[in-house]
Amino acid sequence: MAEVLSNLSDALAAAVAAAGPSVVRLEARGRLPASGIVWSPEGVIVTAHHVVEREENIAVGLPEGRTVPGALVGRDPTTDLAVIRAQATGLPPTAWADNGALRVGHLVLALGRPGRDVAATLGIVSALGGGWRTPAGGRLDRYLQTDVVMYPGFSGGPLVDAAGRVLGLNTSALLRGVSLAVPVPTLREVVGALLAHGRVRRGYLGVGAQPVRLPASLAQQVGQETGLLLASIEPGGPAEQRGLLLGDTIIALDGQPVRSLDDLRGSLSGDQVGAELRVRIVRGGQVRELPVVVGERA
């Protein structure tokens, strides 16, 4: 037993040693520093949005001990992610994990650099799920919950597997009282958008809606049981400009069924901003199609 525990202990220490050089300290708020992950050797750092309280006088503490200036590239509050560009090159690259093999019960480590040295805490994956929409409206490719203790300064740091590969970015701000990690696929999507545009572009129609059950005959005709009843329409918004009315029920957008608010939000990706899509509605018991140009959510 002692040998097993000793081997496990050595393996965990090796995982920290492997991932630690890609963890930086981030000073962007008035109190305790937070952590960040090296995204690229050219000084791109990804961290948690909620720890970046100021956009000027940001300092990045590098693993070898230097502190360099950093500048905010962009942020996405809905996924609690932000990108900082540090005035440094040659930073150690991060090893990213394929978390497709991740299972509930797997050992994981949360790493942070609230001071000069890297710190770690051990836990397990406590819950996994499919795509998940945050309370702020962002979408994560996967729900990844752990029981790691998020010590002060750990937010924005990596969640790593037993081999020291990064599974995601730790945050305590997406769900109150719960330690979550933003998974790697979501990191890649959001960081790419922030580097390209400084923000995550999200489409919108300018409507307020609620799910409703379709009459049985209509449900059989369109092949779905629910749609979205328009309860409000923004004056001058994309929906009003193309003739959508209060009381219309959206059942499809761009050929994809719309049964819930998540379906609608999922159909309005950033790359569709400015595109004309066909919205399929029920009006007065009749199915109609209207063209609508997707707007960009401010």
List the catalytic residue out of 76, 80, 161, 263: 80
Q: Which among 134, 16, 41 is positioned nearest to 81, based on CA atoms? A: 134
Q: From CA 7, how far away is CA 261, in angstroms rounded?
A: 49
Distances (CA, A) of 107 to 3, 127, 183: 18, 12, 16
- Written as one string, the DSSP assignment of 201-238 is --EE--EEEEEEEPPHHHHHHHT-SEEEEEEEE-TTSH
- Please confirm, yes or no, whether 155 is among the known catalytic residues: yes
Structural tokens at position 179: 């330690």
- Please confirm, yes or no, whether 147 is among the known catalytic residues: no
| Beta-bridge mates of residue 154 | none
Q: What's the chain's Rg over C-alpha atoms?
A: 23
List the catalytic residue out of 22, 35, 155, 172: 155
By the 8 A CB rule, do 135 and 170 touch?
Answer: no
> Would you call 239 helix, strand, or coil by DSSP?
helix
List the catalytic residue out of 49, 50, 263, 267: 50
Q: From CA 64, how far away is CA 116, in angstroms rounded?
A: 9
By the 8 A CB rule, do 259 and 211 touch?
Answer: yes
- Please confirm, yes or no, whether 76 is among the known catalytic residues: no
Helical H runs in 101-248? 184-197, 216-222, 238-241
- Sequence-distant (6+) residues with CB within 8 A of 130 are 142, 143
Q: From CA 209, how far away is CA 213, in angstroms rounded?
A: 13
By the 8 A CB rule, do 140 and 185 touch?
Answer: no
Q: Can you tell me which residue has the tokens 């066909």?
A: 278
The catalytic residues are 50, 80, 155
